[in-house]
């Protein structure tokens, strides 16, 4: 296989209230993906726990861990044993009162290549993330802007997290900083009371916007999402049915692999790392950007 070819995998899994059990599921699927040839493996957002943001509960902060800490050490050892680059997700305790939703990239030797702290934090019914997570900042990756790719032995990874996937600015800044692939660990699903037509529209929007980032930046996208129904601990709703549909697409938005909405899955694809450059030669979006006319993008609203 040529040096330009990179075998990647996205893990779609269910999670449980038992952190050890959830991590064991992640490990089992990572081992299987490695045995099937994956060199880069991406786990979904908050894969070690249930999606606890359906309610606001101060006891949940007990789940948070420092980095390094027990979960990151476990994933580090796994990456080193298998000789893979692994992207995991940690509910990070940075200090008392400051917590983050953090993606951690482990090198093939188990070292931490870098971290990305989720920058856009939602606050909607069933997704009360602002209660738990402080937005990311520039305190990592040598103090550079938060939208900075993480350098690894297999290339520069543009790691973002879930709600970040709706923002073209995040994808573009990663691309301009040299990212070779966009990665979106995700936890998103349906309100079980929504009608089927609305559920279909939401899912299609989620897929389409990320494929659009691939097209607009000529970069492949890896988007693992969780699957399964998780109850609302408060009993005020029927919970969230996470819609799965994890996918990997190429730099023109073409599907390379896609999961269903019900099953734990390992998605495999081979990414050609030279394709982005060849596509940018004939679709030169970055060349033709009118940066002299974009100053209003920095305003909350345009006057």
**Residues 6+ positions from 61 with CB-CB distance below 8 Å:** 93, 99, 132
Angle between helix 70-82 and 19-35 (nearest 10): 20
Catalytic, 249? Answer no
Catalytic, 53? Answer no
**Residues 6+ positions from 180 with CB-CB distance below 8 Å:** 149, 155, 156, 157, 158, 219, 273, 276
Instruction: Name the one residue in this structure whose structure tokens are 């980095």.
Output: 67
Q: Which of 45, 65, 129, 230 is catalytic?
A: 45
Catalytic, 162? Answer yes
Q: Which of 65, 162, 180, 249 is catalytic?
A: 162
Phi, psi torsion values for 206, nearest 5 degrees: -60, -45
Q: Which of 118, 129, 180, 230 is catalytic?
A: 118
What number of H helices and E strands is found in the chain? 5, 17
Sign of CA dihedral 183, 189, 194, 196: positive
Complete DSSP assignment for 157-198: EEE--GGGGG-HHHHHHHHHTT-SEEE--B--EEETTS-HHH
Per the DSSP assignment, residues forming a β-bridge with 247 are: 223, 258
Q: What is the helix, strand, coil percentage profile of the chain, to 5?
A: 30, 30, 40
Instruction: Name the one residue in this structure whose structure tokens are 């305003």.
Output: 299
Residues with catalytic annotation?
45, 118, 162
């Amino acid at each position: 296989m040529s040096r330009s070819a990179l075998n990647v995998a996205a893990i779609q899994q269910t999670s449980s209230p038992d952190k050890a059990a959830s991590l064991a599921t992640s490990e089992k699927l990572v081992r299987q993906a490695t045995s099937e040839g994956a060199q880069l493996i991406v786990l979904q957002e908050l894969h070690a726990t249930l999606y606890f943001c359906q309610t606001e509960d101060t006891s949940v902060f007990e789940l948070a861990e420092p980095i390094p800490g027990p979960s990151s050490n476990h994933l580090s050892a796994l990456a080193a044993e298998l000789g893979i680059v692994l992207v995991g997700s940690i509910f990070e305790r940075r200090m008392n009162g400051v917590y983050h939703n953090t993606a951690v990239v482990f090198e093939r030797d188990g070292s931490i290549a870098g971290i990305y702290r989720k920058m856009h934090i939602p606050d909607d019914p069933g997704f009360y993330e602002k209660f738990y997570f402080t937005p990311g900042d520039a305190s990592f990756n040598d103090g550079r802007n938060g939208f900075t790719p993480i350098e690894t032995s297999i290339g520069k990874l543009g790691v973002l997290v879930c709600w970040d996937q709706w923002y073209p600015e995040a994808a573009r800044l990663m691309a301009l900083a040299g990212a070779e692939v966009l990665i979106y660990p995700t936890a998103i699903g349906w309100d079980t009371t929504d009608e089927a037509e609305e559920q279909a529209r939401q899912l299609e929007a989620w897929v389409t916007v990320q494929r659009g980032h691939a097209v607009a930046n000529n970069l492949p996208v890896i988007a693992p999402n969780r699957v399964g129904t998780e109850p609302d601990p408060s009993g005020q709703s029927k919970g969230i049915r996470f819609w799965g549909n994890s996918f990997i697409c190429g730099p023109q938005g073409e599907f390379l692999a896609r999961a269903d909405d019900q099953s734990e899955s390992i998605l495999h694809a081979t990414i050609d790392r030279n394709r982005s450059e060849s596509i940018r030669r004939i679709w030169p979006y970055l060349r033709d950007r009118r940066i002299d006319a974009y100053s209003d993008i920095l305003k909350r609203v345009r006057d």
